[in-house]
Structure 1
Amino acid sequence: MDSKTMSSRLRELVKFLATVKGDLANVTGPPSLLAPSSVVEVGHCFAQRPYIFAAPALEPLAEKRALAVLKWFLTSLRAQLYVAGSPKGVSIKKPLNAFLGELFLASWTDEEHKATTELVAEQVSHHPPITAMHISDKANGVRADGYARVEMTFNGNVNIRQVGHAVFHVDKYNEDHLVPLPDVKIRGFLSGCMYPEITGVYTLHSSSGFVTEVKFSGEGMIRGKRNSFEARIYRKDDPKQKSIYTVSGVWSDGWIVKDARSGEVMESYNLDEDLPVPMDIAPLEEQSDWESRKAWGKVFEGLIVGNLDQATREKTMIEKAQRQMRADEVARGEKWEPLLFGNMTGEEHEVFHRLSEGTGWQLADEKTKGVWKVKEGRDNIQRPFRAGLSPLGV
Structure 2
Amino acid sequence: MVFSATESEYGPKPVLTAPLSLEGEESDSSYRAPNIIQRILSLLNTVRPGSDLTRLQLPALFNVPKSQLQCYGESVYCMSSDMLSKCNNEKSSLDRFVSVVAWSISTLRPLAFGVAPYNPILGETHHVSRGSLNVFLEQVSHHPPVTALHATDETENIELLWCHSPVAKFSGSRIETEVHGKRVLKLIDKNETYTMNSPKLVIKFLPVPGVDWLGNVKIQCQENGFEAQLCYRGFTFLPRASMNRSIKGKIFSSSSLETIYEISGHWDRTVSIKDVLNGKTTVIYNASEAISRLKTPIVKDAKAVLPSESTVVWAEVGRNIIQKNWEKASEAKTNIEEWQRKLARERQSADEDWVPKHFTLSYSKENGWHCLPKRKIVTPAPIICTP
Q: CA RMSD in A?
A: 2.5
Q: Partners of 1:284 and 1:159 in 2: how far apart?
A: 39
Partner of 1:291: 309
Structure 1 residues 176, 38: CA separation in 2 closer, same or farther (over 3 Å shift)?
same
Q: Partners of 2:197 and 2:243 in 1: how far apart?
A: 23
TM-score, normalization: structure 1? 0.79
Which AA in structure 1 matches 2:318? F
Q: Partners of 1:235 and 1:146 in 2: how far apart?
A: 25
Q: Deviations over 1:279-300 (max 9, x none)?
A: 6453584322210001101101
Contact 1:284–1:293 (CA under 8 A) maintained in structure 2: no
Structure 1 residues 379, 309: CA separation in 2 closer, same or farther (over 3 Å shift)?
same
> 1:190: how far off?
5.4
- Counting only pairs closer than 5 Å after superposition, residues 229-268 of structure 1 correspond to structure 2 as 229-238=247-256, 241-267=257-283
Contact 2:135–2:378 (CA under 8 A) maintained in structure 1: no
Which AA in structure 2 matches 1:374? P
> 1:20: how far off?
2.9
Contact 1:31–1:312 (CA under 8 A) maintained in structure 2: yes
Contact 2:152–2:377 (CA under 8 A) maintained in structure 1: no
> 1:32: how far off?
2.1
Q: Deviations over 1:192-226 (max 9, x none)?
A: x532241x332111121111010222232897521
> 1:13: how far off?
0.8
> 1:334: how far off?
1.9
1:205 corresponds, among 220, 225, 229, to 220
Partner of 2:20: none
Does residue 108 of the first structure (1) align with residue 113 of the second (2)? no
- In the alignment, structure 2 segments of 5+ residues that lack a partner are 1-33, 383-387
TM-score, normalization: structure 2? 0.81
> 1:337: how far off?
1.5
- In the alignment, structure 1 segments of 5+ residues that lack a partner are 86-90, 110-115, 347-361, 384-394
Count of residues in correspondence between the two structures: 339
Q: Partners of 2:42 and 2:200 in 1: how far apart?
A: 25
Partner of 2:189: 172
Contact 1:170–1:176 (CA under 8 A) maintained in structure 2: yes
Structure 1 residues 246, 279: CA separation in 2 closer, same or farther (over 3 Å shift)?
farther
Which AA in structure 2 matches 1:375? K
> 1:273: how far off?
2.5
> 1:11: how far off?
2.4
Structure 1 residues 382, 75: CA separation in 2 closer, same or farther (over 3 Å shift)?
closer
Partner of 2:107: 76
Contact 1:106–1:279 (CA under 8 A) maintained in structure 2: no
Partner of 2:198: 181
> 1:161: how far off?
0.8
Select between 290-299 and 331-340 the one with higher mean Cα deviation. Answer: 331-340
Which AA in structure 2 matches 1:54? S
Q: Partners of 1:124 and 1:244 in 2: how far apart?
A: 40
Partner of 2:82: 51
Which AA in structure 2 matches 1:96? Y
- Counting only pairs closer than 5 Å after superposition, residues 245-394 of structure 1 correspond to structure 2 as 245-267=261-283, 269-274=285-290, 275=292, 278=295, 280-282=297-299, 285-286=302-303, 287-344=305-362, 346=364, 363-365=366-368, 368=369, 371-376=370-375
- Counting only pairs closer than 5 Å after superposition, residues 119-138 of structure 1 correspond to structure 2 as 119-138=135-154
SS at match of 1:27: coil
Partner of 2:212: 196
1:23 corresponds, among 40, 52, 60, to 52
Structure 1 residues 44, 266: CA separation in 2 closer, same or farther (over 3 Å shift)?
same
Structure 1 residues 279, 338: CA separation in 2 closer, same or farther (over 3 Å shift)?
farther
> 1:364: how far off?
4.2
Structure 1 residues 279, 270: CA separation in 2 closer, same or farther (over 3 Å shift)?
same
Structure 1 residues 345, 309: CA separation in 2 closer, same or farther (over 3 Å shift)?
closer
Q: Partners of 1:197 and 1:214 in 2: how far apart?
A: 12
Partner of 1:357: none
Partner of 2:163: 147
SS at match of 2:127: strand
Q: Partners of 2:293 and 2:88 in 1: how far apart?
A: 20
> 1:377: how far off?
5.2
* Larger relative helix fraction: 1
Greater RCO (CA < 8 Å, at least 6 residues apart): 2
